[in-house]
Amino acid sequence: MNTVKELQAKLKELEEKLTAATQKNMRQKIETMSSEVVDSNPYSRLMALKRMGIVNNYERIRDFTVAVVGVGGVGSVTAEMLTRCGIGRLILFDYDKVELANMNRLFFQPHQSGLSKVEAAAETLRNINPDVDIHTYNYNITTVDNFDHFTKVLTTSSLTGGPLDLVLSCVDNFEARFTINMACNEFNLTWFESGVSENAVSGHIQYICPGETACFACAPPLIVASNIDEKTLKRDGVCAASLPTTMGIVAGFLVQNTLKYLLQFGQVTNYLGYNALTDYFPTMTLKPNPGCDDSNCRLRQKEYALKPKPEVAVEAKEDEKPIHEGNEWGISLVSESVEDSEPKVVEGIKLAYTLPGQSSIEECKEATTSNDISLEELMAQMKSI
């Protein structure tokens, strides 16, 4: 039988072997991106974008910090793409754990079950590209306790200690989207919203620059019309379906537009939808709603109105002469008449629901009026029922 000492020695030996093996497989950090085309250069094909005249200065990618909020089916793939592209810093938020039920999606592997999504993702991503500085936060951003920390990270965690260059929403619920919207309006951060429908056969991305384009609260959520009669959509026994295909496509759209935005090439699409059943990709532009419920959105709109508009913009030229049909709609939410308060959307896109003019359920009881009674008394009263 082995003595404790012998076992300890054996353990040390194995640990050393493991470290050596891990280090052997992990590539060293690369100081500067090179465009040299050799087998050992992980950036050669990306730097080729420069030689081909697509991107002026690809190595600028290393200066940027992007947050991915929600590291699920869309977010994990988004994070992997950005990592492979050599983004400077990547900040991940999620509070979920990896489960076997996630294995119909890309990125995570069965052996990671039980780990927090952000930790599991960070480990894989650091292995893929050790040059990317990855920060992780394992909490729910919608709670009062976490929101302040969340906004602090968004406003101070860039590579220069300032606000992030871009926030990507890859969350799967309305509450979290609304939270990101609230934070980005308040702190004037540009972000992309993304989503896949609960029936897994449509998705979208939306570019939101506070004050310039419609925010998530400016109108009811825009969704891609699936042409499936809602009444025939069976929801018995399940909350949501998911497909790796739809999620991968949406992640691809999201990162493509992220690269275009950060590296300033091509045009960033304001709203891009995807209908998987018909392979239809509607696009549109949505201006902010002057009557938006979010006061910070209204403030950003005022600021934007005062800002001199750049004349150089390539988009401006192409606005006059749309290159493809779906783009010619410069839809505005601004409307004079009361009846026309709903935004018009292009074919293939619809509002998730409509909002009433003012009041809706009039039959309800009067609004409660708070009188002299204190909150403590009310709490006690509630307890005593």
Interacting residue ranges for another protein, rule: CB under 8 A? 96, 142-145, 147, 173-175, 178-179, 182, 217, 220, 230, 235, 237-239, 293, 352-356, 359-361, 363-370, 373-375, 378-379, 381-383, 385
* Span of 13-21, 90-98, 208-216, 351-359 interacting with Zn ion by CB under 5 A: 208-216
Q: Residue 355 touches which of Zn ion, another protein, none (CB < 5 to 8 A by kind)?
A: another protein
Q: Residue 353 touches which of another protein, Zn ion, none (CB < 5 to 8 A by kind)?
A: another protein
Smallest separation (angstroms) from Zn ion to the CB of 298: 7
Smallest separation (angstroms) from another protein to the CB of 24: 38
Encoded tokens for 139: 């909490």
Encoded tokens for 145: 């306790």
Strand 166-169 vs strand 191-196: parallel, antiparallel, or unpaired? parallel
Smallest separation (angstroms) from another protein to the CB of 305: 24
DSSP 268: -
3-class state of residue 194 by DSSP? strand
Counting other chains too, the contacts that 254-257 makes at CB distance below 8 Å and 24 or more residues apart are 254/74, 254/78, 254/168, 254/170, 254/192, 254/194, 254/205, 255/78, 255/81, 255/82, 255/85, 257/192, 257/205, 257/207
Nearer to another protein, 48 or 243 (CB): 243
Q: Residue 292 touches which of another protein, Zn ion, none (CB < 5 to 8 A by kind)?
A: Zn ion
What angle do helix axes 174-187 and 144-156 make, rounded to 10 degrees? 50
Q: Which of 33, 164, 292, 345 binds Zn ion (CB under 5 A)?
A: 292
Smallest separation (angstroms) from another protein to the CB of 92: 17
Q: Which of 81, 120, 218, 255 binds Zn ion (CB under 5 A)?
A: 218
Q: Which of 61, 134, 297, 346 binds Zn ion (CB under 5 A)?
A: 297
Q: Residue 38 touches which of Zn ion, another protein, none (CB < 5 to 8 A by kind)?
A: none
Neighbours of 167 (CB within 10 A): 24
CA dist., res. 242 & res. 297, Å (int): 32
* Span of 62-70, 242-250, 278-286, 292-300 interacting with Zn ion by CB under 5 A: 292-300
What angle do helix axes 244-263 and 75-85 make, rounded to 10 degrees? 40
* Span of 51-59, 112-120, 127-135, 293-301 interacting with Zn ion by CB under 5 A: 293-301
Centroid of chain to Cα 29: 27
Nearer to Zn ion, 141 or 215 (CB): 215
Encoded tokens for 1: 């039988």
Nearer to another protein, 182 or 276 (CB): 182
CA dist., res. 258 & res. 145, Å (int): 30
Nearer to another protein, 134 or 224 (CB): 224
Strand 202-208 vs strand 271-275: parallel, antiparallel, or unpaired? antiparallel
CA dist., res. 119 & res. 104, Å (int): 20
Closest CA to 211 of 309, 301, 286: 301
Q: Which residues on adjacent β-strands are paired with residue 192?
A: 168, 207
Smallest separation (angstroms) from another protein to the CB of 368: 4
The catalytic residue among 184, 209, 218, 239 is 239
Nearer to another protein, 305 or 352 (CB): 352
Centroid of chain to Cα 239: 21
Encoded tokens for 188: 């004037």
Let me know if 215 is a catalytic residue: no
Smallest separation (angstroms) from another protein to the CB of 113: 14
Q: What type of residue is 25?
A: N
Smallest separation (angstroms) from another protein to the CB of 181: 8
Q: Residue 239 touches which of another protein, Zn ion, none (CB < 5 to 8 A by kind)?
A: another protein
Q: Residue 356 touches which of Zn ion, another protein, none (CB < 5 to 8 A by kind)?
A: another protein
Active-site residues: which are they?
A: 239
Binding site for Zn ion (CB under 5 A): 215, 217-218, 292, 297
